[in-house]
Chains A and B, each alone.
Chain A
């Protein structure tokens, strides 16, 4: 006897093959804001150059709450969280994540819509034990927090 879920699966899948599923062409993302990828920061191979690509040298600000694990089980996936207390640091328009010792330190930049929460969670690759930076832009000024994350080797060394 065929179960209900299988029937549902069947009808749903009849039209979508394996390869079609992987190469499904969907609508190009709607672009409401102008896209402005800071390419200079992304191609930079050193942390100072990457920060310059974002517009300068940030100053440390305590309103930025940057959470990373002290020690990561795997450098391929390091969870990070950035929150900004908007009472102490209002008008944040950009949030960036940098990994100092990566071949390209710039990992991600986020444009934040006005009048919303400054809260980003993602996962980044960390090639080796080093500092991670959370950089935010508010009213044209750059601020940051940094944290060290230790990356450990696996059981058999790779």
Chain B
């Protein structure tokens, strides 16, 4: 079964990898085996490791992602920043241990600094404190929405989840996050030193 390989060359065929994954994992509540199948973005970003794939492939993929973004039907991008704060704080959702009946969280604080009075923030992503200073122009609203919906439309192979495209958050939750980021009254935009 196990083919002999040298230490330096990580050459594992995709067939072998699939077989190993199928053998090594089992359905666990809502976390089912289908989740191991990669879509084109995951495949491209896995194969290329940390660097984006070659320019032509990358451009095509990015455009596909951009074209697939769904904007709010009512044209209204901004919800309730208080509800958005709760979504940003909630790290649960879609884990085998989570209740599928409960809403998913965005877990924004895992990676980003947001409200300056929350000290428990991660650093994998850039600080978004004071994000509202960018204003609420139409292009800004569409840009921010797109980043949340599918980060790969702008930044292929970013580590950030595709909150809209993958159905992690609802349109209403995304609007609430938008307000949390952009509303001048949101704590994200308060108490800046």
Contact = CB atoms under 8 A, between A and B. Distances in A.
Contacts of B122: 155
Interface in B45-100: 89-92, 95
Which DSSP category, helix, strand, loop or mixed, fits chain B's interface? loop
Contacts, number: 25
Across the A-B interface, the 9 shortest Cβ-Cβ residue pairs: A157-B91, A152-B120, A156-B91, A157-B92, A153-B120, A157-B107, A155-B110, A157-B90, A158-B92
6 contacts: A152-B120, A153-B91, A156-B91, A157-B90, A157-B92, A157-B110
Interface residues of B, number: 12
Nearest to A150: B119
A71 B110 contact: no
B105 interface: yes
A52 B87 CA distance: 39
Contacts of A155: 91, 110, 122
The listed residue with most B CB atoms (<10 A of its CB), out of A71, A153, A157, A158, is A157
Given A157-B89, A157-B107, 14 more contacts: A153-B91, A153-B109, A153-B120, A154-B91, A155-B110, A156-B91, A156-B95, A156-B107, A156-B110, A157-B90, A157-B92, A157-B105, A157-B110, A158-B92
Contacts of B107: 156-157
A150 B118 CA distance: 11
Contacts of A150: 119
A85 B152 CA distance: 62
